[in-house]
Structure 1
């Protein structure tokens, strides 16, 4: 009997140990506030109750609103509320490093208003957050939800305690959390040489606790958690948001039949999709030598950061083909006389590797950004002057200190909006109001427009009030893009108002427009009239009022709000808010002081634009469209690209507008969306019209018409002309084929366009108008060609040679821009870069730093 009991206990013990090992080795996804289930990515979430050491003073609650930007109802639509200190205890393996992630959705849960929630979070003895407000953070960063990720150093403990503590600085406050992830992290960290200050030392990152700040797939697409390597559930974002400077580079991709070799690295280091795509510079080496390929990331000051750069040579299989310098905040990381040569690290093509660097911002007073510059090296006479980067990660390093950061400061404009909503008197000075106007109309340099404004406003405020340091911007959040449907319009828009766009009353709209006074009408479109208005005591806005007789008004109204509430980019018009009150549907935008592009091309009321200005406007619009096509989880197709939907602010910055017909969604993964044909005649893609299958190339066709409008200064359709000339697209293609394009160019541009610039620009427009979508370039290719055309024009202008046929050497027609075909051939060495022996004179594009 004793033997049987002994065996039973032994079996039970073995089973317990096996279960502990199994639980602690598998990723743990904890749904805090509900029973769990599967999310959109197929991950299984479990209930949190069994991990709470005590359920006293905590409760579960459901969200009152569902924001369409949430990637999944799990874990965001339910929360665990803590009215006093509470602790989760999770089993884990000793001496293992773990990813710890928290999910926060600042909605209203039951009777709990999350705007009143302030709390601290600690992992064991490690402070992760202090006096943290998810509502303020999401509001300041214009995000619907927040994911905070930490990498916890190995310890001897076989459990991890996560403690939530409501702040003592406020009364009636509480802590909350929607979801927690605990994922075993392989041994991916070691040591990193210090760059700049303390450059003589090496940081042992493997023993440090980290906070993930940025994780970027350079030159590639968004990678969701379920597509990450090693089952680590990381999210990789596109790099377009962080590109800075005149040079945007080219995205390249390896042959899909080639498998990436990880060598001695763990395959969990980064997904193959990271190493199989990259960003390089243009093909003209002498231009590349004078510029940098630059990314800028906003971070907290006075902290040490780990910067990991991922590399994989996709094009060359010999040394000394591509050598380049790497600078972090203008400090040399790898640079002359020993520049980077990826093949010297990997010995062969298509082999992945990475380089870690530690950057200390403690000595750089007030430095709140990390700038990464790549620049070709010429010191060893490489065959091509170019650079390459595949991926980038930035981590905050604790170095024995807290990882907590202050909450970000709301901009003055946001504070004013709050005061208006609460009917409080304004307390801002006249100078403060002026700042609001600039902030509302000026835009910013990337999708994180509000973050850039926060930095500007906050720097000014800190000089006066000496408040604490500005917290960093967090990972950009791209929510789902499920447009349309039969949801309740009112409930849906109320959800969107939660921190994404302002909900105006009809009284506010009437006050802003002087009761829709006809003298304030600045435009009329299919949706209705557009009025100039003033809000917040001085901020100019454009207010689009729905025409009640418009059958598509409601759908376009909802689509416009869905699109613009979650999109932030310098070259997309910004939606401030909306009104669905008193039987009215109104949309409130930033005021574009200079009107539409069309008005400046062939409207006698406006002065004629220079060719260079037209090029810059086309480039800005192309950047906005390129962001729509590649910058979100799903492709967004504008579907109504035309010169009246390209608006200009007071600084001539082009912004794409009018998203009422836009389409998006997971169906685009099939390459097209089958849909009823909509758009504007004269701009419609003929393939889309025939097959009723919408693709991103439909926007490219429409943009090709825009390019010829800019060049020829005539409408897309002009019925008063002879039959063969009615359609600008058809007439321009015909003239280009016959070699008579010069005859239809805007007379105001005569002798003012460099011949090589014209050749590049017209060739790009012609490719856009190809009858078959497969023959058209991607918008990124169009953008590169237009930027190159601008370089050619600026070079000619600087040498005083515009319009002189003999002043710029004609290039061999066989030497084509590799992007004109719509794809960059990875194996073609000549197409990557101009040979050093070619002599083409270019002006210096920017004043480079970091060299």
Structure 2
């Protein structure tokens, strides 16, 4: 790269303008070391032998272990191993840009130890990888396989040579590859200029059209993951969920375009991004005053000493006039767009529903605090738009080759947790160490993987460390739930969980629970009992032990593993491991020290929760459900949402639990799945009951009941009450319709809930309980409304505090309506920060989702 000798460079790019014509892309997929075949998406992979020089010394070999995360055996279950340099030769079109993907699955290959595999990969004169270890990379990212994607610049040559060379820095090493994709692509990269480095002679210009790039991240901002089969232009790219990369407490709100809106690719190539990217967005929200107090921020860890292109995708689908909203854009604290040049997307695109993108670049230095790319947006005040808001539809980050035509970065550093398991990563030897190993889940054509980095995102203020978007997604899930029981169920259980979580022995389970002592029982359900336990290292866990005589328990165990072993989210209970030994089946979870939500809202033996605390817990649960509905490859429907399945950890963070009845799979792409009605009485969606067609709106209905439980402090069903009051849902709807809802709320809350907060909360709960699913909101909308209700309550509480400090008297003093709209930014503190002062000393918390069992 020329003109890159600057300590910090921020560049705004002028995107090339293409005719809105879909490029006919030629593609080749080769199955290395095998005869080829079709993957799970029906794509044909061909044998690699004819592209490899006959004189090359190589070994065709089959993987000795199939990780459960592999949806397809093609191309992962075969490999081509190179003890010496070897070259693939492909015929290509001159002056054509190509997309190249490499698939690596560091499994067991007979006498070849993949942990000793270090190698270099070049494409012509471009160095793509150096001293690369697929084993270290997968271990560090806690995933089973890795895909690396590159965009090769056009050249005059009609032959592309891709060479694998074992590293000279290691003895007894070798190179290997499982699959290679080669796809023609349009040249979507153009000229860019530097921001903050004005030079009239043009020294601040960078031409990316003739450069080689590595794809680092590709996100569908505000929308769910998009698999390769739904990409455009035949490029088969994966677009991942963006929330793991959001930095800070405020995540904004997600929005969806009207289904009747036509996306008009008048300014850019249709290959730029699929319509689904432009039909979803993440914005700051509807409160202009609050939006002025924070930034929407995403942060990414990258290799140092490279220049990165940051591509931001926009499509204004809400407003049809200029200056309705405009935003400033910052990259690594440098202004990319601002002032009079703030981003008014309607003006940029010259229309509503017209997508555009802008490219910016930044040079990332080598330093402890510098190896990141941070993207921030906030409202422009200089242009004085009608709404102070900022939004984004999609984001891509590409690494540009350096002056030596190299894209090679270092291998990621494995965590201490992974180092302890390095000697036996697949069998999970039964050591005494206290750690959790989480494997991967994914698609064949793209790296849909389950990564334990999710834990990292949330424990490190959601900073991302060493993730490449084409190899690490936000926990997509695949396939239909397995719910059939049989005599071989225990074997199926082991095959599901193997490689995805820790495998405990029965002896370890007995030691953890003092031989399943009854004094440790903290819950009972159809599956059996739940025990509080302590595993090696002193970590408290909850152990669900299957009742051998319960077929329901076996079915739910299998579904629970299939779901939770692939899910990691701040607001979902984490599965640590399983035991399938001596005729016993146990599941081991994080211990939820504060027990169930239900325990703290009625018939409680513990300190009663305040209204604000309950509201924050509802928001946490809504975030977990929203992720299940939108954050995975396929929609996941919980199917048993209730207050006993919302658990609270020691910091009062709400986590959704019990996935034994959950459903997922490609059938949900039809909008519903026909299934036998299951769930808990009092929470059951009436439309689901009538039609036996399950949709995500069934969870929304159940969550509406939860909201009224939190407000009214009474169970969903109470047979001891008069007939019209037995069902909380029916009774609450009736009272709301009559305008007397305040008569049935918890007496402790009367006069303490801000009227506007109560109105917003009640309206949300009522909409959730709509008889027809189509009339219910999505969980994303429910989440936004609850967060807004919390802001209303906090504003009112803040005003009361200020009035008290000022010495103003009068308990009947009404709230000044002029304060509406002046909401402070949510603090982002956990609920525990508020509760620790008031919490009693009862630490005998209950884990079980069924501490007070109800019918399923």
Q: TM-score, normalised by structure 2?
A: 0.84
CA shift, 1:319, in A, is: 1.7
**What is the CA–CA distance in structure 2 between the aligned matches of 1:458 and 1:220, rounded to whole Å?**
24
Match of 2:445 in 1: none
Match of 1:313 in 2: 316
Match of 1:808 in 2: 815
Runs of 5+ unmatched residues, structure 1: 1-23, 441-446, 460-468, 812-837
Map 1:833-844; keep pairs closer than 5 Å.
Answer: 840-844=821-825
For the residue of structure 2 that corresponds to 1:212, the secondary structure is strand
2:358 equivalent to 1:355: yes
**What is the CA–CA distance in structure 2 between the aligned matches of 1:425 and 1:68, rounded to whole Å?**
22
Match of 1:744 in 2: 744
> What are the Cα deviations for residues 294-351 of structure 1, in whole angstroms up to 9, with x where unaligned?
3233333443211001122223332222111111232211012431112322222222
Map 1:137-156; keep pairs closer than 5 Å.
Answer: 137-156=137-156
**What is the CA–CA distance in structure 2 between the aligned matches of 1:611 and 1:448, rounded to whole Å?**
36
Q: Choose which of 276, 280, 301 in structure 2 pairs with 1:273.
A: 276
Contact 2:296 2:378 in 1 (8 A): yes
Match of 1:822 in 2: none
CA shift, 1:698, in A, is: 0.7
Contact 2:68 2:497 in 1 (8 A): no
Map 1:122-137; keep pairs closer than 5 Å.
Answer: 122-137=122-137
Structure 1 residues 254 and 732: CA distance shift in structure 2, 3 A: closer
Structure 1 residues 717 and 485: CA distance shift in structure 2, 3 A: closer
2:380 equivalent to 1:382: no
Contact 2:758 2:789 in 1 (8 A): yes
Match of 2:12 in 1: none
**What is the CA–CA distance in structure 2 between the aligned matches of 1:198 and 1:640, rounded to whole Å?**
59
For the residue of structure 1 that corresponds to 2:299, the secondary structure is strand
For the residue of structure 1 that corresponds to 2:620, the secondary structure is helix
CA shift, 1:730, in A, is: 1.6
2:478 equivalent to 1:480: yes
CA shift, 1:196, in A, is: 6.9
For the residue of structure 2 that corresponds to 1:612, the secondary structure is helix
Structure 1 residues 572 and 195: CA distance shift in structure 2, 3 A: farther
> What are the Cα deviations for residues 742-784 of structure 1, in whole angstroms up to 9, with x where unaligned?
2222233232211111111111111111111111111111001
Q: Choose which of 441, 452, 466 in structure 2 pairs with 1:450.
A: 452
Match of 2:234 in 1: 231
Contact 2:76 2:179 in 1 (8 A): yes
Contact 2:281 2:392 in 1 (8 A): yes
Structure 1 residues 366 and 248: CA distance shift in structure 2, 3 A: closer
**What is the CA–CA distance in structure 2 between the aligned matches of 1:412 and 1:704, rounded to whole Å?**
43
For the residue of structure 1 that corresponds to 2:549, the secondary structure is coil
**What is the CA–CA distance in structure 2 between the aligned matches of 1:479 and 1:839, rounded to whole Å?**
42
Contact 2:218 2:469 in 1 (8 A): no
Match of 1:411 in 2: 415
Q: Choose which of 397, 402, 425 in structure 2 pairs with 1:399.
A: 402
Structure 1 residues 377 and 456: CA distance shift in structure 2, 3 A: closer
Runs of 5+ unmatched residues, structure 2: 1-23, 439-448, 804-809, 829-856
Mean alpha-carbon deviation: is it higher for 202-211 or for 160-169? 160-169
2:353 equivalent to 1:372: no
2:210 equivalent to 1:216: no
2:181 equivalent to 1:181: yes
User: Aligned Cα RMSD in Å?
Assistant: 3.1
**What is the CA–CA distance in structure 1 between the aligned matches of 2:103 and 2:195, rounded to whole Å?**
33
**What is the CA–CA distance in structure 1 between the aligned matches of 2:338 and 2:697, rounded to whole Å?**
41
**What is the CA–CA distance in structure 2 between the aligned matches of 1:559 and 1:367, rounded to whole Å?**
43
Contact 1:103 1:146 in 2 (8 A): yes
For the residue of structure 2 that corresponds to 1:580, the secondary structure is strand
Match of 1:464 in 2: none
2:556 equivalent to 1:560: no
Structure 1 residues 175 and 542: CA distance shift in structure 2, 3 A: farther
> What are the Cα deviations for residues 28-73 of structure 1, in whole angstroms up to 9, with x where unaligned?
1111122223323332211111111147542333334444433433
**What is the CA–CA distance in structure 2 between the aligned matches of 1:70 and 1:448, rounded to whole Å?**
11
Structure 1 residues 564 and 134: CA distance shift in structure 2, 3 A: farther
Match of 1:515 in 2: 515
Larger helix percent: 1
Contact 1:302 1:366 in 2 (8 A): no
Contact 2:97 2:153 in 1 (8 A): yes
Match of 1:685 in 2: 685
CA shift, 1:621, in A, is: 0.6
Aligned residues: 775
Mean alpha-carbon deviation: is it higher for 327-336 or for 292-301? 292-301
**What is the CA–CA distance in structure 2 between the aligned matches of 1:314 and 1:455, rounded to whole Å?**
30
Map 1:722-737; keep pairs closer than 5 Å.
Answer: 722-737=722-737
Map 1:320-719; keep pairs closer than 5 Å.
Answer: 320-362=323-365, 365-400=368-403, 402-416=406-420, 450-451=452-453, 471-475=466-470, 476-477=472-473, 478-484=476-482, 489=489, 492-719=492-719
Structure 1 residues 249 and 713: CA distance shift in structure 2, 3 A: same
Structure 1 residues 559 and 117: CA distance shift in structure 2, 3 A: farther
**What is the CA–CA distance in structure 2 between the aligned matches of 1:687 and 1:457, rounded to whole Å?**
40
Match of 2:835 in 1: none
Structure 1 residues 214 and 474: CA distance shift in structure 2, 3 A: closer
CA shift, 1:96, in A, is: 2.1
**What is the CA–CA distance in structure 2 between the aligned matches of 1:114 and 1:458, rounded to whole Å?**
31
Structure 1 residues 425 and 701: CA distance shift in structure 2, 3 A: closer
CA shift, 1:695, in A, is: 0.8
CA shift, 1:193, in A, is: 3.2
Q: TM-score, normalised by structure 1?
A: 0.85
Match of 1:829 in 2: none
**What is the CA–CA distance in structure 1 between the aligned matches of 2:482 and 2:113, rounded to whole Å?**
29
For the residue of structure 2 that corresponds to 1:661, the secondary structure is coil
**What is the CA–CA distance in structure 2 between the aligned matches of 1:140 and 1:492, rounded to whole Å?**
28
2:302 equivalent to 1:295: no
Mean alpha-carbon deviation: is it higher for 714-723 or for 789-798? 714-723
CA shift, 1:283, in A, is: 2.1
> What are the Cα deviations for residues 572-595 of structure 1, in whole angstroms up to 9, with x where unaligned?
111111111111111111222222
Contact 1:245 1:294 in 2 (8 A): yes
2:263 equivalent to 1:260: yes
Contact 1:302 1:364 in 2 (8 A): no
**What is the CA–CA distance in structure 2 between the aligned matches of 1:453 and 1:368, rounded to whole Å?**
20
Match of 2:6 in 1: none
> What are the Cα deviations for residues 618-677 of structure 1, in whole angstroms up to 9, with x where unaligned?
111101101101111111000111111111111111111111110011111111111111
